[in-house]
Amino acid sequence: MYLLDPILLTSLSLIFGLVHSQDPIPNPEKCLQPLIPSNQQICPSLLPKRLPTPQNNQKPLQDDFNHPYDHSNLDDEFALDDEYHLPPPWHGPTSCISSYCLYSNPSLSISLFTTPKNAYLTSQFPLPSPKNRKVISPSSFYEAQIPGKGIGLIANRTIHKGEIIMQRIPTLLIQAIPHSTYSDRTKETLYKKALELLPEDTQQKFMRQYGNNITAKVDKNSFRMLTDHDPKAEGESEHFAVFPDVSRINHDCRPNLHYRLQNHTHTTVAVRDISPGEELTLSYIYGQSLYSTRQAHLQQIWGFPCTCSQCSLPSLLSQASDARIREIRNLEKEIEEKMARNNGIEIKPEMAGRLVKLYLDERLEAYMAPTYTRAALIYSMFGDEAKAMEYAKEAVEALEREHGEDNGDAESMKEMLRNLKGHWSWRIKVRPPLGSSGEAKEKKKGTVRRAPVANRTKSGI
Ligand SMILES: *[C@@H]1O[C@H](CO)[C@@H](O)[C@H](O)[C@H]1NC(C)=O
Ligand SMILES: *[C@@H]1O[C@H](CO)[C@@H](O)[C@H](O)[C@H]1NC(C)=O
Ligand SMILES: *[C@@H]1O[C@H](CO)[C@@H](O)[C@H](O)[C@H]1NC(C)=O
Ligand SMILES: *[C@@H]1O[C@H](CO)[C@@H](O)[C@H](O)[C@H]1NC(C)=O
C-alpha cells in the first residue's frame, strides 16, 4: 500500500480547501460578491462588521473641508507622516476627517479617500503594463444601447478566450469605514471634491454611471478592494473601488468574461470565444446557485429580477440546469470527502472528468480553474497520462485567466506539462496487483516520485 505522507495529505486537503478560498467566486451565503452592479445597492456584507467608535477628535461636518492636514487627528501609527509620504505627482493629504484624507494623482486619473498608510500602499502598486499583448484594442468592442439593460459593450470582432478586454485602476477608491459611517451629505461633498481633482473626461465618465448622485454611483458601481492582504489589516484595508469603464459591462449569470482584482488593477478576460455582435458580460452573482436562489439574490440584494439567458430558459431546460448544479455540488463534496478519507482510495478519476463536463455543459467557463486543476491532479494520481496532460493544459490557461500570470498553481501545472512523470502526483494512487511483488518493483524503479515539499504551491499542487 502506498501511504501518503502527512505533508502530502495536508496538501491534498489544501488542494480543495485553498483553491476554493482563493477562488474569486463569491459565496452567496456570505455575500462576498465584490461587484455591486450598476443598478443595485451595496452588498450588506461589505459594510464593516465593527463600526469604529466615534472619536472625540473627529471634526464636525463643515462646508469647508479644506482645513489643513492635522496631525493631532491621526492615530499614532500615522503620525509618522514621512513614512507614508506620497511621491509626486501625487497630491495630498487634503480634506482630512479623522484619519481619512483625500489624495489624488490626476495624471493617473485616480482619487483616494483613505488613511495615509493605505494611500501610500496604493501609490506603490505597479501599474498595468501598456505593453501587455493580451490586452485587445479598444476598437475590438463598442458601446451600444441593449434592450432592457441600458448601455452595454458589444464585440466588434471575434474576441478569443484568454484575451484581455481591459485593465483599469480605479477612478475613486474609498475606505469602507468612512463610506459606511459618514452622512450622505459629508460623503457627497467629499467625493465631489475628489472627482474635481481629476481631468474633465474622467469626471464625465464617472458621472455617466448609474446612480442619482456621486455617493449613489459609488454605492452601485463599486468593487471590494483590499490594499493589504494581511488578514489582520482587513478592516483597515477594505475599500470601495469604482472603475467607470468596467461599469459599462452588464450582468449575465453565464458571463463570457471573468474579472480579477490584483492590488488596484482590475482585469477583465474573455473566458470563451466571443462572436462579433455578442454582448460582453460579467456575473454580478454567484454563478453556481440554483435558479430560485439566483432570482432571490438578485431581487433581494440588488432589486432586479434575473432576466439573463440562463434565467430565461424554458422550464425544462431550467430544471436540467438546476439538476446539473446540484450534481456539481454533490460531486465536489463527494470528491473532497473521499480525498480526505482512506488516502483517497475511493476516488474514481472519472469523477473529475464528469465535473469538468458538468461545468462546461452549464456554461460556467468563468470558473474553470479549480475544476481543471483538480481533474489534472486526479488523472495524474491514477496514472492516466493523456487526460492528465489534457486537463493540465486547460488548467494553466484557466488559472492564468482567473488569477493572473504569476500564479503559483499555474506554475505547478506547467511543471506537470513539462514532466508529468516527475510530478509529485504521478501515479500515487496506482496500487500494484494483489499478491504480486509489484510494490517492491515499482519502488525500485522509482515510479513513485515526489518533488520536495518546497516545490508544492500554496494550494498543495
Ligand atoms: C502588488 O503590489 C506589490 C507592491 O505593492 C507588488 O510587489 C506586487 O507584485 C503586486 N502584485 C501584482 C500582481 O501586481
Ligand atoms: C469596428 O472595427 C472596425 C475595424 O475592424 C472599425 O473600423 C470600426 O470603427 C469599429 N467599430 C466601432 C464601433 O468601434
Ligand atoms: C443620493 O441619492 C440617494 C439615493 O437616491 C439618496 O438616498 C441620498 O440621500 C442622496 N444623497 C444626497 C447627498 O443627496
Ligand atoms: C523543484 O524546485 C527546484 C528548485 O527549487 C528545481 O530545481 C527542481 O527541478 C524542482 N523539481 C520539481 C520536480 O518540480
pLDDT tens, 270-293? Answer: 999 999 999 999 886 656 666 777
More confident residue, 455 or 81: 81
Per-residue pLDDT at 444: 43
Residue type, 461: I
Give the model's confidence band at 388: pLDDT under 50 very low, under 70 low, under 90 confident, else very high. Answer: very high
**Atom of ligand 3 minimally distant from the CA of 187:** 13
pLDDT computed for residue 235 by the predictor: 80
The pLDDT of 113-139, averaged and rounded, is 93
pLDDT tens digits, one per residue of 120-130: 999 999 999 88
DSSP strand E in 199-242: where?
222-226, 238-242
CA 347 to chain centroid, in Å, comes to 30
- The span from the CA of 197 to the CA of 105, in Å, is 8
Reported as a pLDDT band with limits 50, 70 and 90, residue 313 is: confident
pLDDT at 12 over 80: no
Does any ligand 3 atom lie closer than 6 A to the CB of residue 186? Answer: no
Is residue 282 a contact partner of residue 259, using CB atoms and an 8 Å limit? yes
158 against 12, higher pLDDT: 158
Query: Per-residue confidence at 195, pLDDT binned at 50, 70, 90?
Result: very high
* 125 CA → ligand 1 middle, Å: 6
How many angstroms separate the alpha carbon of residue 428 from the centre of ligand 4? 19
Q: What is the pLDDT of residue 149?
A: 76
Cα of 153 vs centre of ligand 2, distance in Å, is 13
Are 333 and 355 spatial neighbours (Cβ–Cβ below 8 Å)?
A: no
pLDDT of the residue at 144: 94
CA distance 342 to 202: 59
Cα 280 from chain centre: 18
- For residue 405 the three cell numbers come to 500570470
Residue 445 pLDDT greater than 80, yes or no: no
Q: How far apart, in whole angstroms, are the C-alpha atoms of residue 7 and residue 19?
A: 17
* pLDDT at residue number 244: 95
Judged against a pLDDT cut of 60, whether residue 443 lies above it is answered with no
Listed range (79-88, 213-222, 329-338) with the worst mean pLDDT: 79-88
- Cβ of residue 263 lying under 6 Å from some atom of ligand 1: yes
| Ligand 2: centre distance to CA 140 (Å) | 7
How confident is the prediction for the chain on average, in pLDDT? Answer: 76
Amino acid 56: pLDDT:
37
Which residue's CA is the closest to the ligand 4 atom numbered 7?
A: 455
The band of 299, judged by pLDDT with boundaries at 50, 70 and 90, is low
Confirm if 99 and 93 have CB atoms less than 8 A apart. no
pTM of the model: 0.75
Residue from 84, 125, 226, 230 to probe ligand 1 pocket by mutation (most atoms less than 8 Å from CB): 125
Ligand 4 centroid, distance to 353 Cα (angstroms): 28
pLDDT value of position 304: 63
Question: Ligand 4: residues whose CB is within 6 Å?
Answer: 415, 422, 451-452, 455
**pLDDT digit string, tens, across residues 18-39:** 233 333 333 222 222 333 332 2
Identify which has the larger pLDDT, 461 or 103.
103
Q: How far is the CA of 99 from the centre of ligand 1 (A)?
A: 25
> What burial letters (b/e) apply to 15-39, b meaning 16+ CB within 10 Å?
bbebbeebebbbebeeeebbbbbbb
pLDDT digits (tens, 9 = 90+) for 314-327: 777 778 888 888 99
Distance CA 369, CA 399 (A): 5
For a ligand 4 pocket test, name from 450, 455, 456, 457 the mutation site with the most ligand atoms within 8 angstroms of its C-beta.
455
pLDDT for the residue 128: 93
Q: For residue 439, what pLDDT is reported?
A: 45
pLDDT at 148 over 80: no
**Averaged pLDDT, 294-305:** 65
49-97 pLDDT, tens digit each: 333 333 333 443 333 343 333 434 434 344 445 678 888 899 989 989 8
Q: How confident is the model at residue 441 (pLDDT cuts 50, 70, 90)?
A: very low
Average pLDDT on 178-193 reads 92
